[in-house]
Every structure is written in structure tokens, then in C-alpha cells.
Amino acid sequence: MNLTQRQIDYCMECGLCTGSCPISRELSRFSPRQMIKQAVLDPDVGLERGREIWACLSCGACSERCPAEIDFPEFISAHRQEARKAGNLPQESHHGILQAVAGLQTHDLKQQRTQWAQDAGVFGDIGDYFYFVGCLPFFDVTFRYMNQSPLESARSTLSLLNRMGIEPVISDHERCCGHDALWCGDQATFRKLAELNLEVISASGAKTVLFGCPEGYVTFKKYYPQYVGELPFEVLHLTEFLARELPNTSLSFQVNTEETITYHDPCRLGRLAGIYEAPRQLLASLPNTQLVEMERNRQNALCCGTSAWMECSTYSRAIQVERMQEAVQTGAQTLITACPKCQVHFTCARSNTPLLIEVSDLYTYLGQQLKE
């Protein structure tokens, strides 16, 4: 990534990014501005050899406020590719199991990705809509010890789509979208996963691909065209699709006891993709449910504290607890998010605190409220 002289000049005199960065508040030596300064003024010192390059959450909070319009996540991504070449690798979370699973999916292998869907709804091999499930089947196994089933999100999504008259394609041959490989500097793995996914989706004849996961959505929407060319299908996030299509159906929500909820904006869906209102429209349509915003929301929302299953640390936990406390302060009984990773991180953080608030997936929550 090349910075203009104007951007460099602005950057060296500023510091707004560091003040906006959740990592900088917990890790005093971390500074986006200092990293740019090092890369520009002292390229031989070795930004690619330091650990700070992996500490960045790539949440985009700094870029959202940057007067020089520097895309810091893109800056970090480019330098991580160089760091990997230099042998500087991230500290992988959960013993690296999810990185290993993504790597295995670059090969010709037999998967049972659709087994969960057999009793959850109706789907096919060919059709206009392709539901990209992403890594939820692998998350379901990995995080079972937390008494959490990320696949509930997929089951709820399939049920919702079926009740809207849609029988989507769900494929055993789908692969990881490659988001984590890309943000860990592993371009080769990312490109291979992208090519395999395009083959599978093209063979299905799908005109529209729906994503529940913000990371899968932004990866297809923004990065696949950059690496593998223009996509021959429409890419939609489920919140966009449901907010647009649900009002045109006969479906309605139950009138339950009153509940106060709050919504967490995932970084990929919010700052990186610009989708803020669609999830709120869906939640606002629930009878007897009051949506209360956290102090930091939309463009200013605080990250969930961990990115790409790496560098999960004490400062990650501090950020997660800070966000959970902000949710509790709204008076909400339930914190809702549209990102499976955010749900995992908040559930994990809550388990070690006295904070009394439920953490729910958006699609599961909507599915529970639908009238039979």
C-alpha cells in the first residue's frame, strides 16, 4: 500500500488514530501513527519483524477518524504479508486449529458441511440463492466446551429463508472464505480458497449469495474482486436481504413480554462494509422490544477485541469486558450481534465476569420471535 506525501505529512503531525485505537488504550507501546512513521522514515528498522504488527485488530476505528484518509487496516494487511515472508508469524489462538482447518480446505477433500441442515430445513444443490454458511460447522465443534452452538445461527437462517419461500443452495464443497488467511498475511491460502469457492458457487447457478457472517460478506464483496476478478453473482449480507424482503412476506413476529436489547456493530459489517441500519430495522420490527444503543455505536462502536483467531491476550479480554460493561449500562437483558466471532468472544469474556447479560446471535433471536 502506497501513501501519498500529503497523507504522510498529515500523519506525522497528528495522532488521532492512536487516541481512537482500542489496543493503544490497553497496550501503551502500540501506536498506529508510530507504525506508519517507522515504515516511512525507517524502513530498514523492521516493522515487519516487530510483534506490534500482529496486535492490530484491523477494526478500522483509526481510519474512520483519520483526517488524512489513511486506510490503516490495508496498511497493516500489506505489511503482514511481508512479515510472514520474513518469518514473523502471529500467535494463533485455540492451538491454531482453525488456521489448520482453513489450510486443509485448500486441498481436495470430502466434507460433511451440510449434515447440520438435514433436519433444519429444505435446501438444494442448484438454485438462484446460495447460502454461504462459512466456518460455523467448525466453530460448532471448536467451541462446544462453552455450551454454545454457532450452528444455531445457520439453522435459524435456513428456517427463515424457507418460511420466506426460499430453498437456498448449501454445499458440502464450500470452503472457508479466506478472511483469516488474508488478514494473517497468507495470500496464497486466501487466493486458493477464493478460487475453490468461486467454482462451487458458479456450478450451483446461483445469482445471489447470502452471508450471515460479516467477514465472509466483506471478503467476497471487497477482496475477491481484487484478487480473482469480478464476481458473476450478487453478494448480499443477510441483514440487507431480510430488511428488504421480510416486509413483503406474510411473516410476522410474536408479541412477547417486554424486553430491552442492545446491538453490537461488528467491525467488518459496520466500518468495513458500511452496514449499520439494516440490523436495527430488523430489531426495531419486533413488538414489545426496546432497542437501546450503547454509548459507542455505528461508526464509533468498540471492537470485540480479537481478530482472525490470533493474538488473543489480556488486552483483548480487557476490551471485551469493557464492551460488555457498556452493554450492561444500557439496561438491556440481551446483547445481540450479527457476527459469530463477536458472539464467541463476548460469551467467553462473560464467563469469567459477574456481568449478567445474555449474548445472542441476531438470526437466532429473530427466528425465536417469528410467529408459527
Cα–Cα distance between 224 and 65 in angstroms, integer? 26
Q: What is the predicted pLDDT for the residue at 1?
A: 62
Phi, psi of 196, rounded to the nearest 5 degrees: -65, -40
As a three-state string, the secondary structure of 249-313 is: CCCCECCCCCEEEEEECCCCCCCCCCCCHHHHHHHHCCCCEEECCCCCCHHHCCCCCCECCECCC
What ranges do the domains of the chain cover? 5-85, 94-245, 252-369
- pLDDT tens, position by position, 90-149: 888 888 888 898 999 999 888 889 999 999 999 999 999 999 999 999 999 888 888 888
pLDDT of 12 higher than 70: no
**Residues near 318 by Cβ (< 8 Å), separated by ≥ 6?**
26, 305
43: confidence class by pLDDT, cuts 50, 70, 90: low
| CATH code linked to domain 252-369 | 3.40.50
Q: Where are the extended beta strands (E) located within 89-201? A: 129-132
Q: What SS3 state is found at 331? A: coil
pLDDT at 128: 97
Helix axes of 277-284 and 238-245: crossing angle, nearest 10 degrees:
50
- Per residue in 144-163, pLDDT (tens digit) is 888 888 999 999 999 999 99
Name the CATH architecture for the domain at 5-85: Orthogonal Bundle (1.10)
CA neighbor of 113 nearest in space, from 66, 62, 169, 164: 169
- Which one of 54-68, 74-88, 217-231, 308-322 scores highest in mean pLDDT? 217-231
pLDDT single digits (tens) 180-208: 999 999 999 999 999 999 999 999 999 99
> How high is the pLDDT of residue 283?
95
Residue 290 confidence (pLDDT) above 70: yes
Query: Mean per-residue pLDDT for 13-21?
Result: 80
**What value, to the nearest 5°, has the Cα angle with vertex 105 and ends 102 and 109?**
150
Supply 119's cell numbers. Answer: 433436519
Give the integer Cα–Cα distance in Å for 198 and 175. Answer: 10
For cell 464467563, name the residue. Answer: 351
